[in-house]
Copies of this chain bind each other. A is one copy, B any other.
Amino acid sequence: MSVREPVPAMSAALKGAQIYFGPFLVTSQVFHLTPLSFALVNLKPILPGHVLVSPRRRVPRVADLTAAETSDLFLTVQRVGRLVERVYGASSLNIAVQDGPEAGQSVAHVHAHIIPRKRADLDHRGGMDAVYGLLDGEEGDLRRAFGEGKEGERMPRPKFPTVDNEGRPPRSMEEMEAEAEMLAREMERMEREVVK
């Protein structure tokens, strides 16, 4: 495999660095770089301007990131979001992290999807929410397209169902408050453990 050249506008910043997204060398697809994060374009964007932002250190989970990495990653998401919203003439953004395999992650390297949105942009593909199904589809495609993963190896992904949101009753205030109380206590306990 030949090593692709970095993006010319990025050359100075990259200074010969090799940027990896999971096992994949993506240097030539990187358009923004910080000391701790990078942004790259997508092989099969769901919508124009769909890009990814990752930490430079290859770790699978958000919980694996240091505080400095977490801050830098999401400040980069904020900055890149502003960029693609403007460049692609959008008015909103979907920002999504599939944090772990059970959440749909298929490349074990933290990455935030940023997807510029505009009015009625997915009407012909099933409406506003279709973006998420397309997102999970892309993930598998991306991994395969780089030469990893075989058709048969991919997890079977059920097609999108009709989901009845209206059918479930909202919880009572008492139930919500009891859960909030439990979580507040557990948070206190977790933070005490971290200090120890």
The chain A residues found within 8 Å of chain B, CB to CB, are 4, 7-10, 28-32, 39-45, 51, 62-63, 65, 67, 70-71, 73-75, 77-87, 90-105, 115, 117-119, 121, 123, 125-138, 140-141, 145, 155, 157-163, 165-166, 168, 170-171, 173, 176-177, 179-188, 190
Whole-angstrom distance between the Cβ of A33 and the nearest chain B Cβ:
9
Q: A81-B63, A103-B92, A103-B117 are in contact. Are A163 and B9 (CB under 8 A)?
A: no
Whole-angstrom distance between the Cβ of A73 and the nearest chain B Cβ:
7
Contact A65 B83 (CB under 8 A): no
Contact A181 B101 (CB under 8 A): no
Q: A130-B163, A177-B29 are in contact. Are A168 and B44 (CB under 8 A)?
A: yes
The answer for the CA separation of A184 and B119 in the assembled complex, in Å, is 26
Contact B129 A180 (CB under 8 A): no
Task: Please name all residues of chain B whose beta carbon is closer than 8 Å to the beta carbon of A10 when the two chains form the complex.
Answer: 180, 184
Contact B105 A41 (CB under 8 A): no
Whole-angstrom distance between the Cβ of A190 and the nearest chain B Cβ:
6
Contact B158 A128 (CB under 8 A): yes
Whole-angstrom distance between the Cβ of A50 and the nearest chain B Cβ:
10
Task: Please name all residues of chain B whose beta carbon is closer than 8 Å to the beta carbon of A165 when the two chains form the complex.
Answer: 133-134, 137-138, 140-141
Question: Given A51-B183, A123-B158, A141-B170, 17 more contacts at CB 8 Å?
Answer: A8-B184, A9-B185, A32-B187, A41-B176, A43-B170, A71-B74, A94-B103, A94-B104, A95-B97, A96-B97, A132-B135, A133-B161, A134-B163, A137-B163, A137-B166, A140-B165, A160-B162
